[in-house]
Amino acid sequence: MRAVRSLSLRARALSLLANREHSRGELLRKLSPHAESVEQLGALLDEFERAGYLSEQRFAESLVRRRSQRYGRRHIEQELGQHGVPDEVSAPLLRELAADERERAMALWVRRFGAPAQDLRERARQHRFLAQRGFDTETVVWVLRQAAAQRSD
């Protein structure tokens, strides 16, 4: 029978960070069952931040990059908030997203639908699709108008 080797707290944290960026809150949640105390875990995460292994800025940039092609600014803003990313880190990234929100929404609409709605029921379905992905009403209406204009051209 093989002995199961338990990983140290440091090894577990490094393993998680090797796979992808994590927020401090996310690492706290994932590592707390393996820590002897909250102080031990806090000290380890402080050390990782000083060494540059853990960065809220890198985590936020990574999340925005991964999500921006499929989701709108509102969805991404909510997800950053759930991870406990501070406003001073997330605000500039969200401003950048807002700048190209319409283009990203249109690209997503083209990938998903590609053709304008033929009736009100289909238009409502397309509207819900974009709204559920975090695009605001103004953006959704703009995309659907652009699509209808293309059809009439």
Q: Which domain holds residue 38?
A: 1-54
CATH number of residue 13's parent domain: 1.10.10.10
Are 116 and 70 within one domain?
no
Q: Cβ contacts of residue 112 below 8 Å, gap of 6+? A: 129
User: Are 40 and 2 members of one domain?
Assistant: yes
**What pLDDT sits at residue 81?**
94
CA-CA distance, 140 to 51, in Å (whole number)?
Answer: 43
Q: Does residue 41 share a domain with residue 3?
A: yes
Q: Do residue 81 and residue 122 come from a single domain?
A: no
pTM for the model: 0.85
Contacts of 141 (CB under 8 A, 6+ apart): 127
Give the total number of structural domains in the chain. Answer: 3
Distance CA 92, CA 87 (A): 9
Print pLDDT tens along the chain (153 aa): 444 456 788 999 999 999 999 999 999 999 999 988 899 999 999 999 999 999 999 999 999 999 999 999 999 999 999 999 999 999 999 999 999 999 999 999 999 999 999 999 999 999 999 999 999 999 999 999 999 887 665
pLDDT in tens, 71-94: 999 999 999 999 999 999 999 999
- We report the CATH number of the domain holding residue 147 as 1.10.10
Residue pLDDT, tens place only, 44-64: 999 999 999 999 999 999 999
Whether residues 4 and 30 fall in one domain: yes
